[in-house]
Amino acid sequence: MSEFDPSKDQLFTKQRATGDFLFDDNVASVFDDMISRSIPGYRDIISMIGVMANRHCQEGSAIYDLGCSLGAASFAIAEQMDCGNCLIYAIDSSQAMISRLQERLQTSGTPQIVSQCADITDVEINNASVVVLNFTLQFVPRRSRDALIQKVYEGLRPGGILIISEKIEFPDPTLNEMFTELYYNFKEQMGYSKMEISQKRTALENVLVPETLDGHRQRLSYAGFSAIDVWFQCFNFASLVAFK
């Protein structure tokens, strides 16, 4: 019999009463395992965020990791960054995530990361050179997304960048079905059972609301971003970069 591993995501292994997905203590305690087995390319995306942030961070500016969870992107940025006098603001509305991140920060030797438990629709963005929304906007209510992206644009310095990763949907139903199936196959290969996949899908239904790539491009362009394009995509997961 295999031993119980408390850091492994087994939240949906048993038949459970349906309820919306929450970023609570149960999720935070298995989050590293959950996200790396649930998003194809997650580790590459994190490490490339570090590379891009280092290229575009500006002396004396702020870097924001909005919806930071356990701070993977913030740590990758801190590791790569040679730019002086910059602070990385790691913000998440889940107290369970932020408490765990704060524990990590106590021993990580990364004083440039400042964590905060807050709703990203309420926080101020100022003097930013790099803003990261790594799989976060999809959880923000749709009605609040335009204002959030506009606020990010206003808070960026000229030449600053926004990196935004999202689960996406496709306008073409054939492609949508194919990529969704390929994604579920990926999850099975990562060790999730059909029941886990189906229960998680139900729990996320009203919580994670994906949009099309065109929808994202339009919002970014409307907010004022000039150069916008996809730099990573695998199935129905994509990451874009947008320049102010």
80 binds ligand GEK (CB under 6 A): no
93 binds ligand GEK (CB under 6 A): yes
Nearest to 55 by CA among 225, 214, 231: 231
Element (H, E) at 176: helix 173-189
Paired strand residues for 238: 166, 233
73 binds ligand GEK (CB under 6 A): yes
Q: Which one of the spans 52-60, 100-108, 128-136, 193-201 is the region binding ligand GEK (CB under 6 A)?
A: 128-136
From the list 92, 166, 169, 196, which residue makes contact with ligand GEK (rule: CB under 6 A)? Answer: 92
134 binds ligand GEK (CB under 6 A): yes
Do residues 104 and 71 make contact, with C-beta atoms less than 8 angstroms apart?
yes
153 binds ligand GEK (CB under 6 A): no
CA torsion angle 114 116 119 123 (round to 10): -50
Listed in order, strand segments (DSSP E) in 96-227 are: 113-117, 128-134, 156-167
Element (H, E) at 64: strand 62-66
Least distance from ligand GEK to the Cβ atom of residue 77, Å: 11
Q: Which residue lies nearer to ligand GEK by CB, 144 or 159?
A: 144
Least distance from ligand GEK to the Cβ atom of residue 59, Å: 25
- In the block, tokens 């949906």 appear at 12
How many residues sit in the footprint of ligand GEK (CB under 6 A)?
19
120 binds ligand GEK (CB under 6 A): yes
Q: Which residue lies nearer to ligand GEK by CB, 21 or 226?
A: 21
Least distance from ligand GEK to the Cβ atom of residue 100, Å: 10
146 binds ligand GEK (CB under 6 A): no
Helix (H, G, I), strand (E, B) or coil at 3: coil
Residue closest to ligand GEK (Cβ): 67
Do residues 160 and 129 make contact, with C-beta atoms less than 8 angstroms apart?
yes
Q: Which two tokens stand for residue 173?
A: 């139903």
Q: Which residue lies nearer to ligand GEK by CB, 203 or 220?
A: 203
239 binds ligand GEK (CB under 6 A): no
Least distance from ligand GEK to the Cβ atom of residue 202, Å: 16
Q: Which one of the spans 52-60, 88-96, 227-235, 236-244 is the region binding ligand GEK (CB under 6 A)?
A: 88-96
119 binds ligand GEK (CB under 6 A): yes
Sorted by sequence, the CB contacts under 8 Å of residue 72 that are 6+ apart come out as 32, 35, 46, 134
For residue 227, what are the CA distances in angstroms to 35, 53, 136, 161, 208?
A: 29, 16, 21, 10, 27
Chain positions contacting ligand GEK, by CB under 6 A: 23, 35, 67-69, 72-73, 92-94, 97, 119-121, 134-136, 139-140
